[in-house]
Structure 1
């Protein structure tokens, strides 16, 4: 029960990180530079955390030589997921960009649990777990999709690029894939925390890889690193703290996977994330626009909790 509460709690902070990074994006005028700064701050935070808890940043030669290559790519997969959402948004719109990757996360996490991929703890894919996973997805639909779809009947949704017949399905499959890669990242970071005996150091490695990748993307995309566009007068101190929340999120993920499995971690984080999103919207936290919680969203949370309960019952 404590692990479940911890997972929901850390899931709640993810939308807060998103809100903070959204404000930072306005300051730097670039989604990629905003992400790069966030990842860099998170990496610096985890450097201190690793020194305090583990005494070093290095891993043993035995881990480097004998462990599979894929233990080092968790951060890369995280960047692919982040970049994928940025790319998908203009083609699928706000609703599908949220919902479709979630579907990929749930499907892949259940497959990882069933087959024990990426050295994840094995949990058989029973009928009860399948029904629970479906309920979690239905809950996401109620909490995220239906309210936005109802709004689009009154207000025009974010513009979506017109695509040839069949192209939208290609983008949807891409969304499922990016969501699946997010679940793979969770499993990889969990296994990495086991073999190096430190969830914080595993999160540091993941963040370091992600940070280096984002710096490379920014250098290629922007041709150079320049902070001349920074509007520092428009910032407050918490604009720079998104990376710390992200670091804590990844660290807890790495800690929980060996205990309760990838599938359970993914679904309880979804509950926390949806709940956190509703809190941010309802109270207008971190200078975001207020959007009061409605009955459909509350029903969605209840359905998700029911689904998680069924998954936990196996």
Structure 2
């Protein structure tokens, strides 16, 4: 019988892919990424307040504030707020530019690498778990899977195009001299009419691409750190208080940035946005609160590796579906055989990191 905790972890992990679509679509429609991030935090605060109030009324660790006053919580446990703020802002900006599968793929690889380092050295209150060779192999497979998901189709095209070019050159050399000009003209016409549309990652320069990938990698590392420190704070206080702190931190800082952002309140037409937008662009904050709440009580029950692994597997599958169908504002990127194979390699890497 499947544990209910595993089921919750899978559901929450899949919803993270939907959160990226909701927040990025809201940012595009409002013409302001900060407006999307602001709504995500404000709307996510409400369920966290309700959950925390239920905890207090139930008598669970009612001395939360006393523990904080007694300096029982180390300074690094408060890092969950800024780390969560960076992650939400990063996926809002990066997901529509990299695509759901590619963006979450890089985030997944960063999560795994960061989790292995944290476990290996026993940082942020986690029990020490030496990085076995199987875990290292899992990290390598995860990076290989991410590469195939992002660049597999373009690499296959370049290889096949190179072979076709060599074959065409050999045929041209074998033709009579008088037919070479006609053959070259025909090749140019074929290239003009049948050349495939390049992927997004091929249209942008390498410097911009490296910046996007670095931002996604840091977002994955931030998410892994946030899970660890939020789980620790949840054990020191209550899960509800830990989740609520993460959102209140964003509620305080984001309005300041939003107020001064040129494309913030000036570009926002709230009435038009509400009447013309689909319902699902407003659910990013709700999903975020569900994720933060889940890690505060699932990590002590399942362990960091199991919870992270199930989250990631669900994220990958959901992201591939969103890209393939073009749901939630994402540009359609069909799940080719190469991308599916890359996702499978990534899944194997995740399983190896979680198992060893």
TM over 0.5: yes
Q: Distance in 1 between matches of 2:107 and 2:321?
A: 22
Structure 2 gap ranges (5+): 159-194
In structure 1, the residue matched to 2:134 is: 128
Give the C-alpha shift of residue 17 in structure 1.
Answer: 1.6
> Who is 1:60 aligned against?
65
44-53 or 28-37, which deviates more = 44-53
TM norm structure 1: 0.81
Deviation sequence 1:34-58 (CA, Å, 0-9, x none): 1111111011122122223443998
Change in 2 beyond 3 A, CA 1:262/1:107? same
The match for 2:82 is 76
Instruction: Give yes or no for contact 1:76–1:213 (8 Å, CA) kept in 2.
Output: no
2:260 pairs, out of 199, 210, 220, with 220
SS at match of 1:117: coil
Shift in alpha-carbon separation, 1:302–1:174, aligned structure 2, 3 A: closer
CA contact (8 A) 1:140 1:274 kept: no
Distance 1:302 1:102, change over 3 A: closer
RMSD: 3.5
Change in 2 beyond 3 A, CA 1:88/1:5: closer
Which residue in 1 is equivalent to 2:204?
160
Could you tell me which residue of structure 2 aligns to residue 137 of structure 1? 143
Residues 120, 261 of structure 1: 8 Å contact kept? no
Report the counterpart of residue 40 of structure 2 in structure 1: 38
Distance in 1 (CA, whole Å) between partners of 2:247 and 2:154 is: 32
Deviation sequence 1:59-99 (CA, Å, 0-9, x none)? 32223422112222212112223445567789x96697655
Number of residue-to-residue matches in the alignment = 309
Q: Do 1:282 and 1:293's aligned partners in 2 also have CA atoms closer than 8 Å? A: yes
Residues 89, 160 of structure 1: CA spacing in aligned structure 2 closer, same or farther, 3 A cutoff? farther
Question: Any conservation in 2 of the 1:112–1:262 contact (CA below 8 Å)?
Answer: no
Moved more, 3-12 or 186-195: 3-12
- Give the unaligned 5+ runs of structure 1: none
Alignment TM-score, normalising by the size of structure 2? 0.73
Task: Verify the 8 A CA contact 1:108 1:183 in the aligned structure 2.
Answer: yes
Residues in 2 aligned to 1:59 and 1:187: alpha-carbon distance in whole angstroms: 19
User: 1:43, 1:207 within 8 Å by CA — same for their partners in 2?
Assistant: yes
* Greater shift in the superposed pair: 107-116 or 54-63: 54-63
CA distance in 2, matches of 1:148, 1:68: 47
Aligned with residue 317 of structure 2, among 243, 251, 275: 275
Q: Is the 8 A contact 1:114 1:123 kept in 2?
A: yes
Asked which structure has the greater CA Rg, the reply is 2
Deviation of 1:119 (Å): 0.6
Shift of 1:23: 2.8
CA separation of 1:211 and 1:150: change in aligned 2, threshold 3 A:
farther
